[in-house]
Chain A
Amino acid sequence: MSRRWVLRRVAADERNEVAVREQLVDVHLRFFGEEHTAMDPEITEAWTLWSGALEESDDPRRAWSITLYALMQDVRMATY
């Protein structure tokens, strides 16, 4: 994980909700400059997306790709 730049808090095959939420908190800080707790509505929305994408592909890597793809289209990117 040391060579990673974005997803530093989860293993590639991580599916645990607590771990994924912690990673989403970290991504929100890095992408949007926003501090959240793991149960904030913004993180829950992202978790809903991640878990939905996982259900679709059964592949955590793919779920993260879809999540990052969505986060980079979020309006907060334009208001950062």
Chain B
Amino acid sequence: MAITRRQVIVGGLAAGAVASLPLVGRRARARTPCKLVMVLNYGGWDTTYSIDPKPGLPLIDVAEGTERRFGNIPIWSHPSRPNVDRFFERWAPRTTMVHGVQVRSFVHTDCIKRVLTGSPSETAPDLGAMAAFELAPDLPVPYLALGSQARSGPLASITGRAGTSNQLVALVDPEAAYAQPGGLIPDQGLIPTGQEQDLVAAFIAAGTARLRATRGQRGYNKRRIDDFAQSIERADRLARFVRDGASLGARDYTPQLEVQIPLAVQALRDGLSQAALLQSSYSWDTHSGNNQQSMFHDGLFGSLDTLCAELESADLLDQTLVVVMSEMGRTPKLNGQQGKDHWPVTSCFMLGASVPGDRVLGGTNDELGARSVDLETGELDSAGTQLQAANLAAGILSTVGVDASGYLPGTSALTLTP
């Protein structure tokens, strides 16, 4: 039986995951494929400012506010954060909240691996890369990485990084990317004729075949050579995508969510990408001055409202899962600098696609520790299990239509869609 490149990659990842993640359980069920947008808040958000209200508890310091319920979802509300309320007024009926996610570390670099990939592996691809590779590897840029923390691992060849100013545009459409002072027309670059392109393709194929025969007959080298060859084909596909009239958006400062959102929505709508990772630019790691979290939350939820509204107006929200997460939480108590330090339990929420709204899965206790859950239902269950980042990752993969068992073997998926 022939072994495909995908089987090799998935098998390699699976072997690594088996060795490092002893979470035994049932296989995750794949569902109807859908798109994936992850919004990462890197640095560690303080969930008590919005999505995990903890009023009147001696062991948890919280900002001023009141608990407000939006259907079944309690939110910590304050006039200084109007966008939080506004978001849930509109989107709570579609939102699933997930609390008590164990990230098993106090270190940013370890936590980010776990929440984005479900694995402690240095080389595992993140959820966006997995989803894009499995569901739409033939798109021009299957996985659009608009945030710096995206982890493509061995799936780098299907990942496009827009750079800090959406330099992808400049690569394929110089006229759109640069101003034209004095009527100068930017160099369009070399556009080969069909015959010339055939000559070029034959040359590249010959060089690739020679390298494959000498240094890349199997294993890592073979996969990297295959990746390179496919990248060349994908670059042509991307150029054709633009020549056919589609756009990669404008040159702008992509670290800002306001810039990332239209790029991502357009990429999903126009068939450029299957998955995207967005990342807010706030300095969430508030070891001092934790009250900055208030402003960050307000800004974030304003942007999220825009994201969901744009996806909905593009008729994409029903076929796109939006996941909002941070790699860790913050300590219950303030430190001496009025900041909060790292905490190995966090929350996330999601909406869109087939995920039910108006519900809360999991929970945290009066010390901001994770409460045990029944992974089949997400309901609190003292006889259940601690919700690990791997369980959540497997649940997300399954929800977007990827068989998570290939990437996270033996991991029980949190059931997000009944």
Contacts and interface: CB of A to CB of B under 8 A. Distances in A.
Interface stretch (B43-51, B197-205, B293-301, B336-344): B197-205
A1 interface: no
Contact of B190 (A45, A49, A65, A75): A65
Contact of A76 (B193, B195, B207): B207
B413 to A, nearest CB: 36
Interface stretch (B105-113, B225-233, B249-257, B364-372): B225-233
Given A45-B207, A69-B190, A75 B229 contact: yes
Contact of A66 (B190, B225, B232): B190
A72 B225 CA distance: 15
Given A69-B192, A75-B204, 18 more contacts: A45-B203, A49-B200, A49-B202, A53-B199, A56-B196, A57-B196, A66-B190, A66-B196, A69-B200, A70-B203, A73-B200, A73-B204, A74-B203, A75-B207, A75-B211, A75-B225, A75-B228, A79-B215
Closest 9 CB pairs of A and B: A70-B200, A49-B203, A52-B199, A70-B203, A74-B207, A75-B208, A75-B228, A56-B195, A66-B196
Interface in A36-68: 41-42, 45-46, 48-49, 52-53, 56-57, 65-66
Interface in B212-230: 215, 224-225, 228-229
14 contacts: A45-B207, A46-B203, A56-B196, A56-B199, A66-B190, A66-B192, A66-B200, A69-B190, A70-B203, A75-B204, A75-B207, A75-B225, A76-B211, A79-B211
A66 B232 CA distance: 15
B204 A74 contact: yes
Nearest to A62: B196
A66 B199 contact: yes
Interface in B135-194: 190, 192-193
A76 to B, nearest CB: 7
A7 B154 CA distance: 36
B206 interface: yes
B234 to A, nearest CB: 12
B224 to A, nearest CB: 8
A32 to B, nearest CB: 10
Contacts of A45: 203, 206-207
Nearest to A45: B206
A66 B201 CA distance: 11
Contacts of B195: 56
Mostly, the A contact residues are: helix
Contact of A49 (B193, B199, B224): B199
A2 to B, nearest CB: 23
A66 B224 CA distance: 25
Contacts of B203: 45-46, 48-49, 70, 74
A70 B202 CA distance: 10
Nearest to B189: A69
Nearest to A32: B207
Contact of A53 (B196, B204, B225, B229): B196
A42 to B, nearest CB: 8
A1 B202 CA distance: 30
Interface string A10-50: 00000000000000000000000000000001100110110
B211 A73 contact: no
Nearest to A76: B207
Contacts of A74: 203-204, 207
B193 A78 contact: no
A39 B207 CA distance: 16
A74 to B, nearest CB: 5
Contacts of A46: 203
Contacts of B229: 75
Nearest to B215: A79
B31 to A, nearest CB: 36
Contacts of A78: 224, 228
Which of B199, B202, B211, B215 neighbours the largest number of chain A CB atoms within 10 Å of its CB?
B199
Contacts of B208: 75
Which of A42, A65, A73 neighbours the largest number of chain B CB atoms within 10 Å of its CB?
A73
